[in-house]
Structure 1
């Protein structure tokens, strides 16, 4: 009779605390005599310190996630992590290819993020540069807004009949109230003002091709049924005031500048890729 392997239940270390500690790239000193050991140790595990800074950094990330940080609990869990880390080191797990690669990746990510943060903090942009970015972003914004009414039918034949009735002189509002299966039919099919992204693509595409005052000459099929559309009006939405988006523009400018800087660093580096 085969013997089942014993199940293993790991120690209860809150995932958020572990994630916060890892994302900070908390490094472990190899021994207590290392000159990098901080002086503000809150606790030690076999002579290896757990600093107030590490606890504070984890607490800050937990608070940023919307949860309440308990520093005593964080310390307790970091002690658990340190105990486990030292046990893993005694087994030489830090020298296995998988773990060594993971540790190297954490180090690389932490250093790269620290470098980008330092570079970004030193960047500043003039009013003219930010206004130029504002103009560039504004030029790419789809500002079109539409006001339309529609009659929604279950079948294409019913929609064709509505188009015929409109051509015969029946008012759009009357047909919408009597036949539309959409709640807007009670208001004569009026959908109010909307932007293109708020409607299904088929509806938006049809409206974009219409002139103000036009009604559909063919049913517009969508996942909801068949639409007969009347374009009531169109306009361009107002752009946000420059001052209200200035901070966001500055952040965007920093991201763009950092991306360019990364490209420059890579171009200057000797990169060899094995095929």
Structure 2
């Protein structure tokens, strides 16, 4: 039992060292909040414990829930005790403290405005609509499914092409002769689009029709390639599920810029240093 207590204390110390948990915003006037402990006359609400437990989760592996609850409660009690002691010493009246509180208040207001006027404006329907619009604007891309046999010597490559001309199986020859990492898979490179391969290889591959192979070796910095194309198809666009998070971030950014432009257009911003003003204007133009 003693070892467990020591382990808990060590884990708690490590957690606090990385940043003590923030208090949940529990309203002392709200009678629906369950008081689970008191420190002097200060209550600790279940909502505070639940919020702190959420911060603890994932940090202590498979620790039992009851032990995590105890760690979270211990952390909350410690914070209450320290904050009460700080207030008793008048630390809440220092200029440094008031500055930090003012900064925290500004940050909290910023977050409230963001949630109210930006995040709430971007709906799931807007994300889907933008996805549909972008898909229609995207140029159709072709992708090919190809195999290759890669060797170091041009004469050897020509001999392999002769075997193919005589009816040999491409995948079997790739496994036997190819020096590339795809050899074990019969030279299979899967599907790829333009821009993914070196230029000489890409040109030769995209010039082939399905079922055909290069009649001459294709030289690149890697050696001599014999390429066979198995299929050509239109590349499917990324699914909505794949790109929805990025689209949402893009819409949030657009809404953020729009809201800031409205706030800045009131003309109340004044920067005394002309050089800094110029740099500020440049940055804002780029953001637009």
TM range (shorter): 0.5 to 0.7
Q: Which residue of 2 aligns with 1:177?
A: 175
Q: Which residue of 2 aligns with 1:211?
A: 207
Structural mapping, 1:93-132, within 5 Å: 95=94, 97=96, 104-119=102-117, 122-123=120-121, 130-132=128-130
Structural mapping, 1:63-102, within 5 Å: 70-89=68-87, 90=89, 92=91, 95=94, 97=96
Residue deviations 1:16-72, cap 9 Å, x none? Answer: 8975834x7x579xxxxxxx6454444343434433332232334555889775444
Report the TM-score when normalising by structure 2.
Answer: 0.58
Q: Is the 8 A contact 1:152 1:181 kept in 2?
A: yes
Q: Aligned pair in 2 of structure 1 residues 152, 143: CA closer, same or farther (>3 Å)?
A: same
Structural mapping, 1:192-203, within 5 Å: 193-195=190-192, 203=197
Q: Is the 8 A contact 1:148 1:229 kept in 2?
A: no
Question: SS at 1:228's partner residue?
Answer: strand
Report the TM-score when normalising by structure 1.
Answer: 0.60
Where structure 2 has 5 or more consecutive residues not aligned to the other structure, the ranges are 1-8, 165-169, 277-288
CA distance in 2, matches of 1:141, 1:77: 56
Q: Is the 8 A contact 1:159 1:219 kept in 2?
A: no
Find the partner of 1:190 among 179, 182, 188.
188
Structural mapping, 1:123-142, within 5 Å: 123=121, 130-137=128-135, 139-140=137-138
Q: Aligned pair in 2 of structure 1 residues 237, 95: CA closer, same or farther (>3 Å)?
A: farther
Q: Aligned pair in 2 of structure 1 residues 131, 272: CA closer, same or farther (>3 Å)?
A: same
Question: SS at 2:48's partner residue?
Answer: helix
Q: Aligned pair in 2 of structure 1 residues 114, 20: CA closer, same or farther (>3 Å)?
A: farther
Residue deviations 1:69-101, cap 9 Å, x none? Answer: 54443222111122233445537388475x766
Question: SS at 1:21's partner residue?
Answer: coil
CA distance in 2, matches of 1:237, 1:152: 26
Q: Is the 8 A contact 2:135 2:237 kept in 1?
A: no
Q: Aligned pair in 2 of structure 1 residues 107, 88: CA closer, same or farther (>3 Å)?
A: same
Question: SS at 1:263's partner residue?
Answer: helix
Q: Which has the higher helix share?
A: 2
- In the alignment, does 2:267 pair up with 1:267? no
Q: Is the 8 A contact 1:207 1:231 kept in 2?
A: no
CA distance in 1, matches of 2:224, 2:269: 57
Aligned length: 243
CA distance in 2, matches of 1:61, 1:38: 25
Q: Is the 8 A contact 1:162 1:175 kept in 2?
A: no
CA distance in 2, matches of 1:18, 1:183: 44
Q: Is the 8 A contact 2:148 2:225 kept in 1?
A: yes
Q: Which residue of 1 aligns with 2:225?
A: 228
- In the alignment, does 2:46 pair up with 1:52? yes
Aligned CA-pair RMSD:
4.8
CA distance in 2, matches of 1:124, 1:159: 59
